[in-house]
Amino acid sequence: MSHIAETPAPPYYAVVFTSHRTDGDHGYAEMADKMVELAAQQPGFLGIESARDDVGITVSYWADLESIKLWKANAEHLKAQKLGHEKWYSTFKTRICKVERDYGM
Amino acid sequence: MSHIAETPAPPYYAVVFTSHRTDGDHGYAEMADKMVELAAQQPGFLGIESARDDVGITVSYWADLESIKLWKANAEHLKAQKLGHEKWYSTFKTRICKVERDYGM
C-alpha cells in the first residue's frame, strides 16, 4: 500500500523512476519490497510513493544529492539495479530533481 | 495508455502530482483525458506520465516555471482543479521540481 509521502518544507530532492516491466515476476515483487524497506533506512530518506498500471512510477524523496548518491551506490541496491536492467525492466528513465515548491490538500 | 515521456536534456521542470481518489468516477475519467489533451497543447509542455493503483501519480514535464504557471492558470484547467478539490480527490500533493539530471535504458 503506497501513500502520499509526508515530506518536509522544500527544498528537498526527488528521484522519479519511470519504467516498463518485462513479462512475469522473476523475483521482482520480493526485491521491490526489500528495496523500499532498505531505502527507508538510508540517511536522508524522506519518503516514497509508487504506482503501476501501464507504466510504473516510483518517486523517492531525499534530503540532499549526497543521500541519493549513497543510496545509488548501496551494495544491495546495486545488485537490484543490475537485475532490473537484465531481467525486470524493458525500459526505464531516472530523473534527479530538486523540489522547489509544494502544496496540497 | 501512458508511456515514458521523451524529454530533452536537462535542465527542465517536473510537476509531480500524487493523489488519493474518492469513490466513484463522477466525471473524473473524461476530464482527466481532456486535461492530458489540453496540457499537451500548452507552450513549454514536454510530456506526461501517469499511473494509479493505491495512489495516483502523474508527472508532467515542462520547459520552464513560466509554462507551469500558465498551465495552472488556464481557465479550463482551473475548472478541473476546482472539481478535483471538491469531488475527485480526498487528498493530494503537488510538487514543483527542477530536473537536474536524467539517465535511462
A57 touches chain B (CB under 8 A): yes
Side by side, the strands of the sheet bearing B56-62 are A45-52, A56-62, A12-21, A89-104, B89-104, B12-21, B56-62, B45-52
- For B53, other C-beta atoms within 10 Å of its C-beta total 13
Q: Is residue A73 part of a domain?
A: yes
A18: contact with B, CB 8 A cutoff:
yes
Average pLDDT of chain A, as a whole number: 96
Per the domain annotation, does B85 fall within a domain? yes
B49 and chain A in contact, CB less than 8 A: yes
User: In this complex, which of B56, B93, B105 lies closest to A102 when CB atoms are compared?
Assistant: B93
In a domain, A55, yes or no: yes
Cβ neighbours of residue A8 closer than 8 Å, sequence gap 6 or more = A46
Identify the closest residue of chain B to A86 by CA–CA distance: B105
| Residues A21-72: tens digit of each pLDDT | 999 999 999 999 999 999 999 999 999 999 999 999 999 999 999 999 999 9
Do residues A53 and B51 make contact, with C-beta atoms less than 8 angstroms apart? yes
- How much is the pLDDT for A24? 94
* Å between A59 CA and nearest CA of chain B: 9
Residues B15-71: tens digit of each pLDDT: 999 999 999 999 999 999 999 999 999 999 999 999 999 999 999 999 999 999 999
Q: Is B38 at the interface with chain A, CB within 8 A?
A: no
Sorted by sequence, the CB contacts under 8 Å of residue A11 that are 6+ apart come out as A98, A99, A100
From the list A57, A24, A62, A74, the residue with the least C-alpha distance to B47 is A57
Query: Cβ of A97 under 8 Å from any chain B Cβ?
Result: yes
In a domain, A24, yes or no: yes
Instruction: Round to whole Å and give the CA distance between B14 and A55.
Output: 17
Supply the CATH number for residue A25's domain: 3.30.70.100
Q: Closest approach of chain B CAs to the CA of A56, in angstroms?
A: 6
The count of domains in chain A is 1
Query: Chain A closest CA to B63's CA: distance in Å?
Result: 14
Parent domain of B73: 12-99
pLDDT value of position B1: 62
Residue A54 lies in a domain: yes
Of the candidates A98, A10, A9, the residue with the CA atom closest to the CA atom of residue B13:
A98
Q: Is residue A69 part of a domain?
A: yes
Question: Which residues lie closer than 8 Å to B29 by C-beta, 6 or more apart?
Answer: none
Chain A: closest CA distance from residue B101 (Å): 5
- A6 within domain boundaries: no
To which residue does cell 537536474 refer?
B100
pLDDT, tens digit (0-9, with 9 covering 90-100), for A91-103: 999 999 999 999 9
Does residue B29 belong to the interface with chain A, where contact is any CB pair within 8 Å? no
Confidence band, pLDDT 50/70/90 cuts, at residue A7: very high
In this prediction, residue A102 carries a pLDDT of 97
Global pTM value: 0.96
Q: What is the pLDDT of residue B2?
A: 79
Q: Do B92 and A4 touch (CB under 8 A)?
A: yes
